[in-house]
Amino acid sequence: MTLVIKDYCDGNKLELTVEVGLVTTGATYGIWNTAIWDTTLWGFSETWTDISAYVKRLSASRVFSRPVRIWSAASLGVDLNDQDGRFSPDNLTGPYVVAGLSSIRPGCGIRTKFTYAGVNYPIFKGYIDEWAEDWEGIEGPRTGVATTPITATDEWTRITAAPAVTVAPVGAGELFGARVNRLLDAAGSTAPRAIDAGSATMQATDLSSDPVQDLELTCDSEGGSILIDGSGTIVAKRKYALIEETRSTTVQVTFGDGPGEVPWSAIETAPLNLSGLINRAAYTRVDGTQQVFSDVNSVALYGPAGDKSSNIDQLICTDDAQALSLATWSVMAHKDPQALVTGLTVPVSCLTDWLPTLLGLQHMDLVKVVRRPPSSTSHTMTRYCFIDGIDYEVADGKVDIKFTFTSATKYMEFSTSKWDVGLWDSALWFA
């Protein structure tokens, strides 16, 4: 049973579904001293169980830890109505108990989605970390309000927890995508994947490092990115995805205060300053020679500013030319100071016409933000941004989505300066 957030006058409904991998009374299990090898399932089988009817509040956050580059474990919080005690791990007479054992336990799978006009929009898929119990308004036995808050994180947390198991060095010369797949396999991840092949080749690895550190280093050595989408799929993007893929080169939606633009309820901006400026990058691969690229005009205007990322002196690409390409790419994308729109919040429940677009927005999508301030009749602030994070808040029949952004301005210059459309001396030419 889905939870109806809002009925619209056009006959459509905005619905929320929350499902948990719980053991039900019909599940099959095996006991160690009665089961027969190869004929009985050992352990409990999980069934996706719809608990939407008990949801009081939901919040989800999915964001990069470094702008459109390295993922941060997504989080989910759900408050459940537990007035009948079904979500209490102490209740051994509830609906999720088999053979005297409760399936209310850490590690259960959980997935959530919105549905509108018959289309599903995944929000989050991961694993429950905690089941808690809250009681309010107790004035005597069996009185008050019972709530079960649960928290969950996505596949990234499981990859982080996986131990590093050292092997003989393998994978010399393999491309970015092959290395990402190797690292995910070594971490025991069985999540679905959508991995670009990439362009950078990697040095051999003995898999002795922390899996997440290795994934970060691989992404930095490609200049690519890694994330986990709302369906739980691990997505790894190649170096030039931001200037080649349609969703990153074509504006998906315009947020603004004018006709045909999606309004917001709150907006966050950062002043024009030198934060994030990189105009002199020095990158070094393991066993290589330091490669330096500078933009002389930017250095003259603002002074030298380097890339402070932790992996720039331990890249694992196979040759110095690839390291120089990364240094060049970094400078060209960050050599100019920019005034940024860092985030905005949209009250989704109020915007029927824009619901499919807003619910379908993804990380790394290109969006435009327009403001028309009172300081001038002609001045308009326009910012092009990549979606860096998406937060959902569902409560009291309302849905708010907060988007966080990183600048897309310089990348747009690259995406419009291909060799077959650019002009010498008037467009950027890039490898």
Closest by Cα among 286, 297, 285 to 325: 285
- Can you give the pLDDT at residue 411? 86
**Domain segments of the chain as ranges:** 3-153, 160-239, 245-272+339-431, 274-337
pTM score: 0.89
Q: What percent of the chain has pLDDT over 70?
A: 90
Which residue's structure tokens are 């994070």?
A: 389
The residue ranking higher by pLDDT, 272 or 428, is: 272
Q: In whole angstroms, give the CA distance from residue 94 to residue 419.
A: 66
CA distance 199 to 300: 33
In one letter, which amino acid is 241?
A
pLDDT by residue (tens digit) across 389-420?
A: 999 999 988 999 999 999 998 888 776 654 44
Beta strands at 280-283 and 266-270: parallel, antiparallel or unpaired? unpaired
Angle 424-427-431 (CA atoms, 0-180°, nearest 5)? Answer: 90
CATH architecture group of domain 160-239: 3-Layer(bab) Sandwich (3.55)
48 bridge partner residues: 21
pLDDT, position 430:
43
pLDDT surpassing 70 at residue 53? yes
For residues 107 and 128, what is the distance between their CA atoms, to the nearest angstrom? 5
For the domain covering 245-272+339-431, report its CATH number.
2.40.30
State the pLDDT at residue 353: 81
For residue 292, report the phi and psi dihedrals to the nearest 5 degrees. -120, 135
What residues have CB less than 8 Å from 116, skipping those under 6 apart? Answer: 12, 13, 14, 15, 355, 356, 359
Secondary structure element (H or E) that encloses residue 234, with its range: strand 234-237
